[in-house]
Every structure is written in structure tokens, then in C-alpha cells.
Amino acid sequence: MIKKIVEKLHLDPPKTLVLGFSLIIFLGALLLTLPVATVDGLGLHWLDALFTATSATCVTGLVVVDTGTTFTTFGQLVILSLIQIGGLGFMTFATFFALIMRKKISLRERLILQESLNQMSMEGIVRLAKMILVFTALTELIGGVLLSIRFAFDFPLPKAIYFGFFHAISNFNNAGFDLMGEFSSLTAYVDDPVVTLVVCLLIILGGIGFMVVSELYDYRQTRRLSLHTKVVLSTTGILVVAGTALIFILEYANPKTLQPLSMMGKVLGSLYQSVTARTAGSNTLNIGDMYQSSLFLIILLMFIGASPGSTGGGIKTTTFATLIGAVVAQMKGKEDVIFFRQRILPHMVYKSLTLTMISLFIVLVMTMVLSITETSARFEMILFEVTSAFATTGLSMGLTPHLTPIGKILIVLTMFAGRVGPLTIAFALAQRKQKEYFRYPKGKITIG
């Protein structure tokens, strides 16, 4: 259906993505308003349905109603389908069905797929789509089996299997939806090594980007990694380790979070919150009980987010690394940003700065507007909520269920902008630059 509409309207890739995500969201919202979708048999209110469908399709995880107790199995499967489609991109699924039906992938479809996967060229784009589907299926299968075995000790076997695969799919796609009830997420498993390590690994694999996964898979033959992969892996490792250490230090004496736990529990709790802050959304500690210093750290981690071409959001690890590299280069008096003995081109630094400033502008504006509409909420709760929505993280200090109707609409727009906006911005920045036939004379201004 989307393909026919695109062909009639002659839409370019960015507009196709916006239209595609919009149609999927509205279809999902319509399904969630059906009586069969909710336990009470009344269906979800249209605004709550729109919010939930947007959160699922944009793989965010913010919820205005509890997923485990509000929705029937039908409603939960609708949410899970939206998570899977939103995480991998609807064009990846369109490519999958086209390959099954042995249809040729057109040039326009390859361009849209390139935009959807945030790739720099079309070379090998169909092969990458195939790899994504296979890798996703295997990873979610293994994660689902491991979690099902662990949940079998707490639930009847059918429920354990259902819970295991639901949470595996949700966390691999960095969505953070859960079925544990009462907005509790995975707090009951804060010191459980199996749940913590399996889910953390799922989040990381879904967040490093499929291009990185492809290169790691081919490493046995190629024996080389691109600069992109090296930057993603090193930045991800630093952020995870630094985040874990800082949360451990900041929350160590907090009687509502880490203090009652054993040393292993403290480490596992710190690790999980560090990993999930990078756009996953599930949590094993009560976010609202954390100290303000820890919450500010999580806001920073959420804003940075995952890596390009992944299921996560945020400004991305490569953008953050490029900006840090530019700062270090300026402090050392050097003109070039150097990573692994390779020079980053100046226009990439400008792109990183542009994307970061636009993202920061959206977060600040939405925070200011919500400060007007949500008069009963504290400022840090609003800033946390907006950052979580824009970075498609899904963590919350408890504000989401209490949002006003206007607040819900604003968060819906923020989630949509966070999922689709940066991709469209990146595509626009990648367009061919117009040739300049003249240059203005140099001017000097005082900086700092």
C-alpha cells in the first residue's frame, strides 16, 4: 500500500520514510482502539492508542497505560509487531517480502532502503537487508530461549516462553516495553545475572548498528574493520564502562536503589542502567528514586544514544565522538580531527554539529513548552521525559501516565521527530552541495 502511494505522489526517500512511519502508527493506533485489544473490552482511548502506537513504532517505550495489565494478547502482539517493524524499518520488511516473492528491487526502493538504514551508499544495500533479517531472527531467537528458560522458574511454561520472546524482541529493538505489570519493568530482576546480562547484550547488539555487525561477521575473511566500526565499538565501550562506574559511585549509598543490594547486585544494577540509558528503555532500578546527579548522567547518555543504522535513537555515538574529537583537536591547536590515524573530513564535523544543535534545539523547545502545560511536574522530570522521548529511550521518572492531553500530543511529536527527524536531516545534509561561483571576503570575530 505504501509503495503504491509513494509511486503516485512521486515522493523522495525522506518523505517516503515520514509517510511510511505515519501510516504504520495510525494503523497501529486504530487496532489498539478495538475492543479486542484491551482487557476491559472497551478498547483504548484514541489519544492513548496514538501515544502507544507511536512509542512502539518509534521503539521508544514510554507508556501511558501499563502494557502487561491493560492489553490482551492481541493488543500486546500488535505492539510487538509495531516494535519489530519500527526497529528494523518498514522498507527492510518490504524488501523481505519482495525477495520471498522473487520480485526485483527497484532503484527507488534501494534509495529508500538506503535512507531507512542510514547508509552512505547503495552498494550492497540488499545484501545488508538480508543480513539484518537473518541476524535479527537468530539474535531474538537465542535471547528469547535464554529468557524463557530463566522465566520458567517464576511462571508457567507457556507464559515464560511468551514473556521470554516478548522481552527479547522488545529489548533487541531498543523499545523497552515490558509485561511485568504495574509499570515495574524488570526491577524484580535487578540482581539476576541471567536476565541482566542477556538483556544488556540484546540492547547492545541492537544498538551498535547493522553495518558494524556485518563487518564483524565478515572479519574472519577480511581481517579489517572500517573507521566507522572502530569508532562505534570504542565509543560504545567507553560509554558503557564509564556509565556503569559513575552510576555505581553515585548510587552506591542510595537506600532506594543500590545500597540494599549485594556487591554483585550493585554492579549488575549499575551496568543495566548504563546500557539501557542508551535508548533501550527497560530498567531494573526505579528511575524516580535515583539521585539527581545520576538522573543528569542518564539524560546525557540518552541524548548521545545508540549508533547509526541501528534500532536506537539519540544523536548517535559517531556524532558524539566526532564532536569530542573536534574539541580535542582545537585544544591541541590542530586543524584535523584524527581517529585511528585517519582524518575526519571537515564537512563531517559540520554535519555532526548541525545534527547535535538541531536535536538540542528540539529538546529545549519541547521542555519549555511542556513546562507550561505540565504545571504540576518538576522541571527535571520534564527534561528527563523530553530527552527520553526524543532519544527514543523510554525511561521515565513516572511522568508519562500523568501527562495532560496536550502533553501527550507534544511527546508523540517528540518521539516521531526523534525517530524520523535525524534520518531526514542526515539525508538532507548528504545531498550534493551547490557549486559556489564566488566567496565572500574573510572576516574575524572574537570567540570566547
- Tens-place pLDDT, residues 91-119: 565 555 555 555 555 555 555 555 555 55
Determine the distance from the C-alpha atom of residue 115 to the mean position of all C-alpha atoms in its chain, rounded to a whole number. Answer: 17
pLDDT per 10-residue tile (average), the chain, 448 residues = 51 68 90 94 92 91 91 94 81 55 57 56 64 86 95 94 94 90 89 95 89 84 88 94 96 94 95 90 91 95 88 87 92 86 87 89 94 92 94 90 93 89 56 63 72
80 closest CA partner among 128, 45, 109, 37: 37
Residue 94 carries which side chain, given as an amino acid letter? A
Widest distance between CA atoms in the chain? 75
Q: How far apart are CA 399 and CA 59, in angstroms?
A: 19
Q: How far apart are CA 354 and CA 109, in angstroms?
A: 28
Q: Which residues contact 426 (CB under 8 A, 6 or more apart)?
A: 118, 351, 355
DSSP, res 18: H
Helices (H), 223-262: 227-251
Say if residues 223 and 259 touch (Cβ distance below 8 Å). Answer: no
105 phi, psi to nearest 5 deg: -85, 115
67 closest CA partner among 207, 170, 201, 183: 183
Percent helix, percent strand, percent coil in the chain, to nearest 5: 65, 0, 30
pLDDT of residue 51: 95
Q: How far apart are CA 395 and CA 397, in angstroms?
A: 7
pLDDT of residue 264: 95
Burial 235-268 (b: 16+ CB within 10 A, else e): bbeebbeebbebbbebbeeeeebbeebeeebbbb
Domain boundary assignment for the chain: 2-429
